[in-house]
Amino acid sequence: MKKIALFIVTTLIIIACSNDDDNNNSQNNTVTKAQVISNYADIVYQSYSDSYQLALNMQTAINAFVDNPTEANFTAAKNAWLAAREPYGQTEAYREASGPVDTDNSAGTPWGLGNEGQMNAWPIDEGYIDYVQVGTEPYAGNYTSIISDAGVTISEANLASLNEGVDDKSISSGWHAIEFLLWGQDNSDPSSDLPGQRPLADYTTDPDATRRGEYLKVSTGLLVNDLQSLVNTWNTGGTYRAVFEALNEDTALTQLVYGAFFIAGDELSSERMIAPVDSTDGINNSGQEDEHSCFSDNTHRDVFANAKGVYNVIFGSYESINGASFYDLVNQADPAQAAILLATANDAMTKVNAVANNAQPFDYLITQETSTDSSFGPVMQAVQALFAWADEISASANAIGINLQ
């Protein structure tokens, strides 16, 4: 029933977006580049704000669980994590846009936060954080986990400094560190549709229960603070909002559309979908480790949210916001290209929904196909549609005088 409900909701989202776009076309209202830029900034702010608010809810649930570790509170904390991921996944379309989430302040940019890797780095070597089952973790290094090493102080500053402390998989903070602490490793057969089964005893009677609970609280607080920084800098009058809206209009448009182009044509399609297909050998199912949310089995929702974030940017919409868009500019310059852009966008979202609402879990779907098979299953069909969408985003940018290549 849950997956059926998600299918209905996500299908209605696509239809509603398409209808809104058609309405905009029929009105033939001329939009300006400045309006598109301002509407995009509103969308960025609101989506980060929603993510922050739900992360606060998650923090409340996690603190309640650590203070009173019952099965009911454990479930509530997990559900709060899942809910908070929905708006955050849509913000991924703002990456690679020369904005604060990717840019640090080392080059004299006071608005640079550079906190994406601290929030959402993946895949992670779970053994860097906590215990793992021997023989099931392909990334585990030869070191004592942070939780089991009583000499390591668990603080926000320390977890931030330890992030990628050994290599790019030694992740100590962010969404997936919290996810692992809630669910634990997922060692189940992919066809079982079961996430990780971390026992409640890890937070009650286990020798490291106190440090594990402390780690869960502190890492959640660090994530909340990172999100709040993004909300503040994108708010009206915020440090980066002012910088962005003062950019040359074509520069600002290039940045905003490049983030969407990058997610559709590279990060989502290649890194988050092809990579786990490629690393699945059909025997050890190691592709599970390359799933974006492999512990909670929430990768199907990550895929949808990331694609929806691209749709938001291209069509200038997010929740109740529906304003001047990149698509509108393309439609004014080249209606034929705009029609192709709309068609490829809707095709990509349809195929993404076939993954997000599939009767089989993502970690099972990736075992059923390869990236070189001519008869693709739903995961690779969605990948191909995302590639096509990215190509048309680039072609559409060219139609308004912007080069993304």
CATH topology of domain 2-399: A middle domain of Talin 1 (1.20.1420)
Query: Which H or E run includes 76?
Result: helix 71-91
Of 17-31, 245-259, 268-282, 389-403, the one with minimum mean pLDDT is 17-31
- Quote the pLDDT of residue 400: 97
Give the residue carrying structure tokens 């089964």. 197
CA distance 9 to 17: 12
- Quote the pLDDT of residue 336: 98
pTM: 0.90
- Which band of pLDDT confidence, cut at 50, 70 and 90, is reported for residue 27? very low
CA distance 231 to 51: 9
The residue type of 147 is I
User: Higher-confidence residue: 194 or 249?
Assistant: 249
Where does residue 41 fall: left (phi above 0), alpha (psi -120 to 50 degrees), or beta otherwise? Answer: alpha
CA distance 6 to 126: 30
- Which band of pLDDT confidence, cut at 50, 70 and 90, is reported for residue 369? confident
Average pLDDT over residues 255-260: 98
| Exposure letters 247-260 (e unless 16+ CB within 10 A, then b) | eeeeebbbbbbbbb
User: Higher-confidence residue: 26 or 112?
Assistant: 112
Q: What is the pLDDT of residues 311-367, one digit of tens each?
A: 999 999 999 999 999 999 999 999 999 999 999 999 999 999 999 999 888 989 998
- Which band of pLDDT confidence, cut at 50, 70 and 90, is reported for residue 144? confident
- Quote the pLDDT of residue 278: 85
170, 146, 167, 139: which is closest to 218 by C-alpha?
146
- Which band of pLDDT confidence, cut at 50, 70 and 90, is reported for residue 108? confident
Whether 309 and 318 have beta carbons less than 8 Å apart is answered as no
- Which band of pLDDT confidence, cut at 50, 70 and 90, is reported for residue 398? very high
Domain boundaries, the chain: 2-399
